[in-house]
Structure 1
Amino acid sequence: MAAGGSTAAALDAWIVFEDEAGMSMTPPTSRTWASRGHTPVIRVRAGARRQLSVAAPTCYKPGERSRLIHRPRLDTGRGGRRGFAWTDYRDLLIPAHHRLGGPIVLAWDNLPCATRRCGIEWR
């Protein structure tokens, strides 16, 4: 159901599911097994604490091909925000809305910045 009790079909709207994921660019430290006396050596570049975050809405509408729109964000480890801010989501969804060329019904997880700050009506 869209805002106001209308269905997405009645609005002729795109149904958009948005989610995000983060991946570390360095391997996690862990334990490994080896024969006694043969300690394995795993080389990791020191100080490379980078993280890649990706936000991607998937877009569906009957009679249209589905769309995947994504935006990566690389954290270089030099301070600042590691993940997406609400402004990053806004800057992703506004061009997606224009690219789809019609109203969207956005299904979003319970990300705190999604529920508090991105109160934009997409018509």
Structure 2
Amino acid sequence: MRYADGGGLTAVGRRRRESVRLQAAELFEQKIKPLEVARRLRVSRKSAYQWHQLWREGGAQALASRGPSGSRCRLSPRCLEKLAAYLEQG
């Protein structure tokens, strides 16, 4: 999901999505098929199959959030301060 400001999900959104993936892991442990997991959790079949593959390879840990996506900021703290000042000036 993309937003106009260029960001991705918020921390709350990432936690919510991670919660759904971890629920899927619990269902996989109960030998529930990906199609049924998709139906119960109201997610796409594609997502359920991808999560199942990850779960088989690495367990529930493989479904944990990896944090925000995208590249990390390469600006130094000093440059970030300068940028903020410039932006505030208009």
Q: Same fold (TM over 0.5)?
A: no
Instruction: Determine which structure has the larger strand proportion and give its number.
Output: 1
Q: TM-score, normalised by structure 1?
A: 0.21
Q: TM-score, normalised by structure 2?
A: 0.26
